[in-house]
Structure 1
């Protein structure tokens, strides 16, 4: 089935064609309005405003396969194009781990990440679970004792919940209950209503509910406390060596030269250091984080390894 899907995808790309130009383009492998679209439009505008490129950066939306269509298009049509950048995130690593992309990490050249939405583990304000220790103690005793929820089964929300459970020593991860929703917000609503025990999602989706007091955060999945919610402990500070960033960044085609690749690192660093990016990140609930080049690629290799272990434990094929 997967081979048939990829064959169909290749045929669409070969027959459909996409107009290109010599101007700088940012491919958002999703429809307008999502996180990848935000990445392209925000970074594109700043690249122009900061005189990092000539003229305006054109955002091109190419939805399909949670980024797989855009990935295949770049690989097949524009692998060596130095004027094309592609918005990406942790979601892409999760999809690669599940073999849902027509390639691997080394198919593309991942340039850098500029920020991340931080994962958070949540319970309702009326929940008897008071701490992260309480949560994991219940899961260790019986992995089916609690119902977790967030985005779809096998999504990054699901995987990072299991990564946290794994860090706590919970066994039989495939037995841990998960109910999928179309994002964190509806899952939180159901949790408040008492139908779900715990939600893992991006902190930005939970912010309003935390401020209203309807829910409590057991921990954020970050290296450091989040400035907007400094009182929420990190899982690391509680003794669990796990993070759950939904980072936002850029890749270029695998055939792009070293010179062009390094130029994009420099350009993105200029964007990252700008007041414009700091303001955009703050307004969209992102924590500014910079990793680029070899450091970024090493980070992704470890993330892919960790995610793949979870994926394999759930027997996704």
Structure 2
């Protein structure tokens, strides 16, 4: 009984009534800054399901490819800067693009960071009928015939997908710039290109390839996690255990326009805490093959801004920063 009252007290503190009632959603839109099928699409679908279940609110999804997030960032920071009904999906890649100045004049200070609600991991994927069974076999071929390979992923050279493979190649003593690279507007488009044999290697994210792997269309040679993934995905080896000390952990979350009111921002923060406390987000994460993570509000804002500074160093490593 005592634990029940502690939970009630916690909910009253975390979800103050005046903050929750200070704002009411009107035709909310989740912007996925890429084409359908990638990680941003996954996050908007997660939010749509979560708010639909918890609040009986219909959230529409708007796909806004362009500059791998630049168009959506510009749209939120300028066109919709006071619209609290607009929420935009984001990830570690968003912070990296900011660090590399890919969003033009806009910086990490030009939006309001809402929260990260799931963890994803980088992967190195190939077609299921490819000859390579291990990451070592792929690297050996890349070392001998780099000019015959085409790698493709979301974003231009310097994007987080490109960076994943670049770090592995760097460890192997191969110049990442020697590998031909095709840029796609999102991981969904890149994984489709891999299935169609338009590219040979896709350094993407686990959530973007898990269904294709289960369907026997793609093969994941390595997951860029500290340890093997739990449960049914435990048979996928890590890059680290194959001799390449590369870990790429991806936070997935959202940001809001910069000039919404503090009451509107608090409504979103409190709502996310409530979705987590009631188990709604946990169920939606599981459906989307994401792993637990919860950083909301000020904690997340500080984390993103620190991450931008750290990711700038990755760019320096490959001569990508200005």
Does TM-score exceed 0.5, indicating one fold? yes
Moved over 6 A (4+): none
Match of 1:313 among 310, 318, 321: 318
Distance between the aligned counterparts of 2:42 and 2:132, measured in 1?
Answer: 36
Match of 2:252 among 242, 248, 253: 248
The 8 Å contact of residues 41 and 59 in structure 1, kept in 2 or not, is answered as no
TM-score computed with the length of structure 1 as normaliser: 0.69
When residues 128 and 84 of structure 1 are mapped into structure 2, their CA distance, relative to the original with a 3 A threshold, is closer
How far does residue 76 in structure 1 lie from its aligned partner after superposition?
2.5
TM-score computed with the length of structure 2 as normaliser: 0.68
Alignment of 1:198-213 (within 5 A): 198-211=201-214
Match of 1:276 among 273, 280, 283: 280
Alignment of 1:1-317 (within 5 A): 23-24=25-26, 25-30=28-33, 36=40, 38-40=42-44, 42-47=46-51, 49-51=53-55, 56=57, 58-59=59-60, 61=62, 63-65=64-66, 66-79=68-81, 82=84, 84-96=86-98, 97-123=100-126, 129-136=132-139, 144=147, 147-151=150-154, 153-154=156-157, 155-166=159-170, 168=171, 170=173, 172-180=175-183, 182-190=189-197, 196=200, 198-211=201-214, 216-226=219-229, 227-238=231-242, 240-256=244-260, 261=265, 263-297=267-301, 299-300=303-304, 301-302=306-307, 305-306=310-311, 309-310=314-315, 313=318
Distance between the aligned counterparts of 2:236 and 2:136, measured in 1?
Answer: 14
When residues 235 and 270 of structure 1 are mapped into structure 2, their CA distance, relative to the original with a 3 A threshold, is farther
How far does residue 59 in structure 1 lie from its aligned partner after superposition?
3.3
Q: Secondary structure at the match of 2:223?
A: strand
Q: Secondary structure at the match of 1:105?
A: coil
Task: Give deviations 1:271-316, integer Å, cap 9, x for gaps.
Answer: 2344433333333333333233455345534366436734883658
Task: Select the structure with the greater relative contact order (CA < 8 A; seq sep ≥ 6).
Answer: 2
Task: Give deviations 1:231-285, integer Å, cap 9, x for gaps.
Answer: 1122344454433345431112334566654553332132234443333333333
Structure 2, gaps ≥5 residues long: 1-22
How far does residue 28 in structure 1 lie from its aligned partner after superposition?
1.0
Task: Give deviations 1:121-147, integer Å, cap 9, x for gaps.
Answer: 134566665543454566578865754
Structure 1, gaps ≥5 residues long: 1-20
Residue 17 of structure 1: aligned partner = none
Q: Secondary structure at the match of 1:122?
A: strand
